[in-house]
Structure 1
Amino acid sequence: MAQLTESVVRLIDQLSKLPGIGRKSAERVAYHLLRVNKEEALGLADAIRDVKENVRYCSRCFNLSEGDLCSICKDPQRDASILCVVEQPRDLIALEQSGVFPGLYHVLLGRIAPLEGIGPDQLTIDALVSRVSQGDIREVIMATNPTTEGDGTALHISSLLAEFPVKLTRLARGVTAGSVLEFANKEVLADAMTGRQSL
């Protein structure tokens, strides 16, 4: 019986660690990479290297950035008095694609999930409270995912921000409970953002 080379086995092992990629899918990707020309395969390797070396979190909002501040935080046209709180950078991207939100963002880099061992101290909640305490923000929109953990995270943050003179709102439930923002279409997200409600 033919044996796979050590390099191919290592590639399949690494690919199978990716989310949503099982062993069979990893094998298909590995064989695809073996078939394409060297430049195309190495282009993928270079793109992965560039992401790991150049992309970091924005020092203000924790969105993905290749500099100290992300493009949204650097944009003088954005309304700095409205802050939208999301769980992940991909949620921010989904809301941006709706094209209706003019303000700034704050990315939590997760949600409170006690069963997974994720507490408030592992998120960027302290940085959020610090931003709000500076007094420039008049509204904070809680755009955490409409799940048990997302709602719990929003409730925790709301209690921390209650002492500040800011309006606290939540996305309207045009976004179905139990769904994830990155998979919602832009029309649903636009309706949810436009119809946001007080907490």
Structure 2
Amino acid sequence: MIDWKINPSFNRLVAELGKFPGVGKKTATRLALFVLRQPDAEAEALAEAIREMKARTRFCSICFHYTEDDPCPVCTDPARDAELLCVVQEPQDLMAVERSRSYRGRYHVLHGALSPLDGIGPAQLKIAELMARLADGSVREVLLATNFSVEGEATAHYLASLIRPLGIRVSRLAHGIPMGSDLEYVDDATVNRAVEGRQTI
């Protein structure tokens, strides 16, 4: 049996890969071995892709999705319905709604959900920025697409209580999405039905 203690660089790569969501030590080891077997040019291309993404990617100053151009392509797309705003917890949730191809409005990414036990309150989310976007009266409907978890539901109800007094329609994704599920893992057809069946809350 090979003693990998003599190969600290391999162990370091396994440890770094193991930080990825859903990647345990065995999977991290397999990935590290895969990288090790690749030609130097392939390994360098992977490292360069990571460096380039980190260097060039930032938040859109309007919707707070990840982008290389600020504002992002969605916020600057004239074909989008600027009167309809979809609020999601995370960037991957925005991607899930986009994959459904049933929504043509714009977005706002909160970067989390209310969770007092974890020390996450309104100040830790992009809620103040959301309310600033709504202040000019150009949005007629806000679609709350937070996850159907305890935290997601609490966030949706909190946002609804802030938005309703502005005279803006507040809707919620229909419950075609299972309770306790994260939007990024739901299939496209289910997300499509949920968007089409949204309800005022």
TM-score interval w.r.t. the shorter chain?
over 0.9
Q: Specify the alignment match of 1:145 in structure 2.
A: 147
- Are 2:50 and 1:13 aligned? no
TM-score of the aligned structures, taking structure 1 as reference length:
0.96
**How many residue pairs align between the two structures?**
199
After the TM superposition, list the runs of 4 or more consecutive aligned residues in structure 1 that deviate by more than 2 angstroms: 1-4
* Mapping 1:52-91, distance limit 5 Å: 52-91=54-93
Q: Specify the alignment match of 2:135 in structure 1.
A: 133
User: Per-residue displacement from partner, 1:56-101 (whole Å, max 9, x unpaired)?
Assistant: 1110001110021111001000000000000011111110111111
- Are 2:33 and 1:31 aligned? yes
Q: Specify the alignment match of 2:47 in structure 1.
A: 45
Structure 2 alignment gaps of length 5 or more: none
3-state DSSP of counterpart to 2:86:
strand
User: Superposition RMSD on alpha carbons, in Å?
Assistant: 1.1
Which is further off, 14-23 or 60-69? 14-23
Identity of aligned residues (%): 44
* Distance across 1 between alignment mates of 2:200 and 2:10: 55
3-state DSSP of counterpart to 2:111:
coil
Q: Specify the alignment match of 1:191 in structure 2.
A: 193
Amino acid corresponding to residue 114 of structure 2 in structure 1: I
* Distance across 2 between alignment mates of 1:25 and 1:185: 25
* Distance across 2 between alignment mates of 1:68 and 1:135: 23
TM-score of the aligned structures, taking structure 2 as reference length:
0.95
Amino acid corresponding to residue 17 of structure 1 in structure 2: K
